[in-house]
Amino acid sequence: MAITFDNRVAIVTGAGGGLGRSHALALATRGVKVVVNDLGGSVDGTGGSETMAQSVVKEIEAMGGEAIANGANVTKQDEVEAMVAETIDRFGKVDILVNNAGILRDKSFSKMTMDDWKLVVDVHLHGSATCTKAVWNHMKENQYGRIVMTTSSSGMYGNFGQTNYGAAKAGLSGFMRTLCLEGAKYDIRVNTLAPTARSRMTEGLMPEEILEKLQPEPVSQGLVYLVCDDAPNRTILAAGAGGYAVTKVVETQGVNFSEGEATAENVAAHWDAISSMEGAEEYTNGGQQGAKFLGRIAKGEFAK
């Protein structure tokens, strides 16, 4: 089945280089009109210039595509709203939003300043929320939207020296899960990409022989699927080195204790049963967890 895009318009943040550039080019190759957003700052978030975004626009135009550059700072609500307004004025609508912009300020938590913490969370988590908020009601009115967050293995599994980055990336997957519930009846599908790819943010973290195997283009092909008409919903797609996998959060069956038996000692005594993965389930809304435990009370099912 060929994946095609019929008159679609996308905003890709952080698209002046690395993965964002790759995403923008992959979409433009398939006929998507692209707003190439990039503040043009350094990896740590300092500085700024639209030159990087303009360079990508020239690449897209050279291959016959349509694109405009935008230098909005994703943490500034007024600049993001102006970007969305410009997109609608130029192309008539916004169908796709790819929240890709990000920075790094890696340090162990003991050495990290709260300014470093706040800035990284602001760009990744608040920036994605700001951009999503700016297109959300527009997508609802159009009864169509495709939104992708960018998470990381650091957010799902942890990585030394990245408490700020990991917390922000974990927050994005939670943001996605609730947006899916609120956008379902409007055909707004929200997914999350967990990439492993060569970029300005990874070049100082991995040896060259590894980076050579982590080109961004295969990751962007996964992104293309996540924003197409037949896209999945509420999915975390891990992608890197030509490999693709889905990350899921599941909950064990666990146990219930009868009245008076819910003690720390019994939690310790039944830990193997509580943590057993047998029968683990993936839930699609928060109420399912409570329903599981309350359902056992109604049935009189308690740990022995």
Where are the domains positioned within the chain? 9-247, 250-304
Level-2 CATH architecture, domain 9-247: 3-Layer(aba) Sandwich (3.40)
Is residue 264 pLDDT above 80, yes or no? yes
Residue 196 pLDDT level (bands cut at 50, 70, 90): confident
- Name the maximum alpha-carbon separation found in the chain: 72
Residue 270: helix, strand or coil by DSSP?
Answer: coil
Question: What pLDDT sits at residue 45?
Answer: 46
Question: What pLDDT sits at residue 47?
Answer: 46
Please tell me which residue in 165, 186, 244, 283 is annotated as part of the active site. 165
Residue 254 pLDDT level (bands cut at 50, 70, 90): very high
Is 139:186 a contact under the CB 8 Å cutoff? yes
Is 29:4 a contact under the CB 8 Å cutoff? no
Residues in CB range of 43: below 8 A, 6 or more apart:
103, 104, 200, 201
Is 220:26 a contact under the CB 8 Å cutoff? yes
Is 87:94 a contact under the CB 8 Å cutoff? yes
Is residue 304 pLDDT above 50, yes or no? yes
Least confident residue range of 14-28, 57-71, 188-202, 282-296:
188-202
**What mean pLDDT, rounded, does the chain reach?**
92
Give the mean pLDDT of 256-270: 97
What torsion, rounded to 10 degrees, do the Cα atoms 212, 217, 219, 221 define?
-150
Between vectors from CA 33 to CA 217 and to CA 31, what angle results, nearest 5°? 65
What pTM, to 2 d.p., does this model score?
Answer: 0.92
Tokens of 125: 């988590």
Q: What's the pLDDT tens digit per position in 202-249?
A: 555 555 666 666 789 999 999 999 999 999 999 999 999 889 999 999
Tokens of 269: 């005594």
Is 193:172 a contact under the CB 8 Å cutoff? no
Give the mean pLDDT of 107-122: 96
Give the mean pLDDT of 42-64: 79
Task: Give yes or no: 165 in active site.
Answer: yes
Residue 149: helix, strand or coil by DSSP?
Answer: strand
What torsion, rounded to 10 degrees, do the Cα atoms 57, 58, 62, 66 define?
30
